[in-house]
Structure 1
């Protein structure tokens, strides 16, 4: 009997449909951590395994991350455009800078791929272990 895609995802089986859903959400600016926390989504470790083992998923994921940089850039402009004189300027600046930092990292990763680097580099920092 075929498994439901959500069941297959939690067990680690690759699903093109789930992979596309993950990448669409990444492109929309959602974090992989948030996506994988949702019911029916694979664990982050599963997604990292898919990245390691599946070249077509790596390409899809890389394109989604590039699109996410554009999404963040659009958010930065929207935040700046909608700020008023009464707004909390330090909070606005923090929101913009956080998005700029992430967008810069995403763009730098895309540029490295153009120089013969691996399509995706997954790094787990000590901060990730606490989460």
Structure 2
């Protein structure tokens, strides 16, 4: 009989580059308004796919990344303002588009900058919404029972007294 080894098997594949310091740097740069596409171009940074894998593997990184994206909205709005402040008449339309894109992206990353959407509920014919209580449910059940008994009575009459 063969003895089982107590040595754990070696993991195959590349060792992870993940460190708290690297994750913190990514989140800091995201919070400052830098896009992940730009960050991963740096030589010491992992590929974009790897960053997404880290989010799946490290809950704390996922939480920090999401918070950094939310915080980046402020930086994006500020960058949009800088673009507009530095604009000249010959490139005003392009600058306006660049600023509008940053505003749109800020709205996606943080609800404070998003479009306000009002939701209004109305009842029948535009009136107020009516709430159904237990008392109403009992009344509805009673009416449904009466309707069912009337249907049975009509069916008996049509079938000559048998159902």
Name the SS for the 1:14 alignment partner: coil
Quick one: which of 34, 39, 42 aligns to 1:35?
Answer: 39
Whichever structure has more helix as a proportion of its residues is: 1
TM-score between the two structures when normalised by the length of structure 1: 0.67
Aligned residues: 99
TM-score between the two structures when normalised by the length of structure 2: 0.55
Q: Indicate if the aligned counterparts of 2:71 and 2:110 stay in contact, CA closer than 8 A.
A: no
CA apart distance, 1:94: 1.0
Q: State the partner residue of 1:15.
A: 19
Show structure 2 runs of 5+ residues with no match. Answer: 1-13, 115-163
CA apart distance, 1:79: 2.2
Could you say what the CA RMSD is over the residues aligned between the two structures, in angstroms?
2.0
Q: What pairs with 1:34-53 in structure 2 (closer than 5 Å)?
A: 34-53=38-57
Show structure 1 runs of 5+ residues with no match. Answer: 1-9, 112-131
CA apart distance, 1:48: 0.4
Question: Are 2:98 and 1:104 equivalent residues in the alignment?
Answer: no
Q: 1:46 to 1:39 in 2, by over 3 A?
A: same
